[in-house]
Amino acid sequence: MEQYDLVVIGSGPGGYVAAIRGAQLGYKTALVEKYDTLGGTCTNVGCIPTKAILDSTHHYHDAAHHFAAHGIQVEGLSMDFSRLYERKDKVVLQNTQGLNFLMRKNKVTVIHGTASFVDNSTAQIVRSAQDSLLLEASKFIIATGSKPATVPGVTIDKERIITSTEALSLQKKPDNLVIIGGGVIGAEMASIFNRLGCEVTIIEYADHLLANMDHELGDALKKILVKDGIRILLEQAVYKTENMGNTAKVFFRDRGGKEQELQADYILVAVGRKAFTAGLGLENTDVRLDARGMVVTNEQLQTAVPHIYAIGDVIGGAMLAHKAEEEAIFVVEHMDGQKPKLHYDRIPSVVYTWPEVASVGATEEDLKAKGIAYTIGKFPFSANARARAGMDTQGFVKVLADPKYGEVLGVHVIGARAADLIAQGVLGLEYEITADSMSRVSYAHPTYSEVMKEAHTLASGRPSVNI
């Protein structure tokens, strides 16, 4: 039996941040990870490798379609698919090595093995068939993340019916691909393979792309992706897939109920993720799961066992790496007797297509449903000098503000650098800054950030000087 002040189960963004913060606050901390590398889904098969390939394919797409306008002539342009994936692997390795360094630096004990609770205070760690140990701790944090979800009738076989995990490890470029799901993962995967020259079709059940974001963003992205050659089918209900050997088929019903089918090299399932709690031994504790398999927690993210906390995808909500990180800091500082705050409505969402899409706060749909009055300030990238210089004129910034007091209610961006620009919107919401105040600070010229300035200006009721 080994004893710790804090044991964190799972080393994704929530887990490793919790372990580091715990160690910084003086807790004897152990981090348990069942895989050989730290970082969880995000670092190994999610956020990081996806962004590496998105960046590489973006460069390739620019070289093929936009360099000539800059006077750059490219002859014999080609994509080395193997090299593309090798670079992705190197990026992942750099990040996992960085995590190993951070664990050593902060004196966090890393234990590789599968954790399972024996009771409310003890977990068994199985490192191999012949090797296991027991850990007893004053505090536990469950940070085991999530796994890809699917829909009834669709079995992910990891051969022809795949997820983004398998898509990031393909041995050769497919000729065509059907993606089930038009959310964040579906849109990003579509962008990657479309840029590589694959024929891509997205099948989405909802009537909007990016259905959980402001609908105007999804509508704008749909037009852009269709223009790029991606086929997008909305209001389609997938009910079956079939592995045909060298290809696969997907069967679905259109909005009129008519049965349809498509055949492709691969069917990529991107319909979201579900909490991963299998094998945790929660049945040996008083920790409860809800009907969807999520760990039930209170506002302090404590389970029914007060010294066992849970964070990240395993408790549901927005399944975002940075949401898990914020929860990690919140939980550990709460354990330490501090009074941290966590505002879920101020956590941004980002889609790393090009142009990027980012959002924070209330959408128009949210405000309409609640009967809340609002003003809109909307400014296009096409009217921004820096965007014109960089040939990145697609998209807009939309700011929603309270008409009486001017408080910013939501910020929604589709355009170049949206993933970085949204931080300004987060700041405005976090500190309840008015649209007028957001517009009156100095923004460097020429920069993409000036689109934010002008949208806030319009939302405050003042006219823009740039349109």
Cα–Cα distance, 13 to 143 (Å, whole number): 9
Strand pairing category for 176-180 and 199-203: parallel
Taking the CA atoms of 258, 262, 266 and 268 in sequence, report the sign of the dihedral they define: negative
> What one-character-per-residue DSSP string does 358-391 give?
EEEE--HHHHHHHT---EEEEEEGGG-HHHHHTT
C-alpha–C-alpha distance, residues 166 and 148, integer Å: 11
Residues 359 and 420: beta-carbon distance below 8 Å: no
Cα separation values, 339 from 95, 325, 336, 342, 347, Å: 31, 17, 9, 10, 19
CA–CA separation, 446 vs 450, rounded Å? 7
Residue 304: is it exposed, middle or buried by C-beta count within 10 angstroms (0-12/13-18/19+)? middle
Please give the backbone phi and psi of residue 20, each rounded to the nearest 5 degrees, phi first: -65, -45
What three-state secondary structure class fits 64? Answer: helix
Q: How many CB atoms lie within 10 A of CB 94?
A: 11
59 is catalytic: no
Which of the residues 59, 66, 70, 445 is marked catalytic? 445
Active-site positions read: 445
